[in-house]
Structures are given as structure tokens and as C-alpha cells.
Amino acid sequence: METLLTVQNLNISLEGEKIICDLSFEAKRGEIITILGPNGAGKTVLLKTLVGIFPYKGKIEWKKGIKVGYVPQRVPFVKDFPITVGEFFKLKTKDDQEIKKILQFFGFDENFLNKNLGEISSGQYQRVLIAWTLISNPDVLFFDEPTSGVDISSQKSIYQFLEKLKNEKNLTILLVTHDLNVVFKFSDYVICLNKCPICQGKPKEVITQESLSKIYGQEIMFYEHYHQH
């Protein structure tokens, strides 16, 4: 598998506060990497830095010509002005065919384009955002807590889409999540983070009761949860 992203000794400080220290990892084509950690662990900052929003020290090296898509965490519903789903896609591409194609992939019909972006369900909105990001055919997709604020029935389908994406488009996916189910079921590689990396590797090998309590700083009751898998 070719390596698309190499991160070495990454250090990120924002306004004098250290957010990420000495992180190194690689992302290969078709791999799903999950980033696990408590609130304030720097997960979101890490993603934003990798897509070029924040400054950093160390090495972030992308393979040449790699396109990256980013779905931020909890994009608020657009309530301030009217905009249809179709018009939202038009902000990204003028190509109507491309828009139709991607909508089909996500199981929306053409009428959906005329719906108001502020009036669709949270699950639909999340899928629209993913579809929007996929329009430019990225090789790598960054995904910040894709299911936060999404109702439970939609959560499942979002992960099913992620798998479909991985299988059909051979996408590399970097995923921030709290959900251990997702880590075990979907990811090839996990990075446990609490400012500094605590463990990284194959989920089954590195996620243990011990590493979990290290990440979350206490004896947490993930034991049963873990044994379901």
C-alpha cells in the first residue's frame, strides 16, 4: 500500500498552549485511522492542522497530488439565510452531472436538491456534508466526530457509508471519534491521544483497559463494552 501522508514529530501550539506533542504516524491508501481521546485532547486541532488551517512544527508530508476532503465537527444548520441543497453544492462545483452522481451514491433523489438546507434532518445534513466533500474526488477524507448530534438510526447508516466509501473508492479515512465500537469495527489503525500520543497501532492490540484508563485518566467502565467484540 502506498503511503499518502507521513507525519513526523508533529508539535502544535496555539496561543502559547501546547496542544499536540511529538506525534508520528503514516496513512496509507485505503486505510481507516481513528483518533481516540478525551475532550480537549487536541483531536480536532490535529485534523485542522493536517488540512492546513493551523500552523505547526515538525513534518507533515503529503504524497504529491493528493486531494483532501474535510468534514468539520457539528457544522451548524444554516438558519440565517435561505439556501437549497442544490445551491449548496453549486458553491463547490458548477457540474450538475457530478452533483447528481454523488447524490445517487448517497441515496438521495433529484427533488432533494430543491430542499432547504436548514430544514433537512441532522442525518441527512451530515450525509450532504460528506457528499459535498466528496465532490472533488479526494483521496483522503477527514472526519471529525461524524455522528455527534446525529440521531441513533442515522449514526449507523453514516458508518455504513464510510465502509462503502472505503470499499468502492478506496478512500483513506481519518476519523475522530469517542465511539469504541467504531474503533474496533471499522478502523485499521488507532491513535490514542491526550495531547501527547498514548498508544497507537491495531485497535485489538493497543486498546486495553490499561491504555483506556491512561487516555481518559481514570478507571472507566469500558471493560464489558470492549468484550462484546
Using CB under 8 A, list all residues that contact other proteins. 48, 51-53, 68-70, 72, 75-76, 78, 80-84, 87-88, 90-92, 114, 116, 129, 142
Locate 59 and state its grid cell. 513534518
Give the nearer residue to other proteins in terms of CB position, either 80 or 168.
80
| Cβ at position 120, least distance to other proteins in Å | 12
Q: Which of 185, 198, 194, 99 is nearest to 147 (CA)?
A: 185
Give the nearer residue to other proteins in terms of CB position, either 53 or 196.
53
* Phi-psi region at 150: left, alpha or beta (left = phi > 0; alpha = psi -120 to 50): beta
| Cβ at position 25, least distance to other proteins in Å | 20
- Residue whose C-alpha cell is 459535498: 132
Give the type of residue at 204.
K
Give the nearer residue to other proteins in terms of CB position, either 7 or 180.
7
Give the nearer residue to other proteins in terms of CB position, either 47 or 198.
47
| Cβ at position 46, least distance to other proteins in Å | 14
Locate 121 and state its grid cell. 434532518
The 8 Å CB, 24+ separation contacts for 156-163 are 157/123, 157/127, 158/123, 158/126, 158/127, 158/130, 159/185, 159/186, 161/106, 161/127, 161/130, 162/32, 162/186
Furthest C-alpha separation in the chain: 53
Q: How many helices (H) and strands (E) does the chain have?
A: 9, 9
Give the nearer residue to other proteins in terms of CB position, either 67 or 185.
67
| Cβ at position 132, least distance to other proteins in Å | 8
Q: What's the Cα-to-Cα distance from 129 to each of 83, 102, 211, rounded to whole Å?
A: 14, 11, 33
Give the nearer residue to other proteins in terms of CB position, either 54 or 106.
54
Give the nearer residue to other proteins in terms of CB position, either 171 or 192.
171
Q: Residue 147 and residue 14: Cα distance in Å, rounded?
A: 27
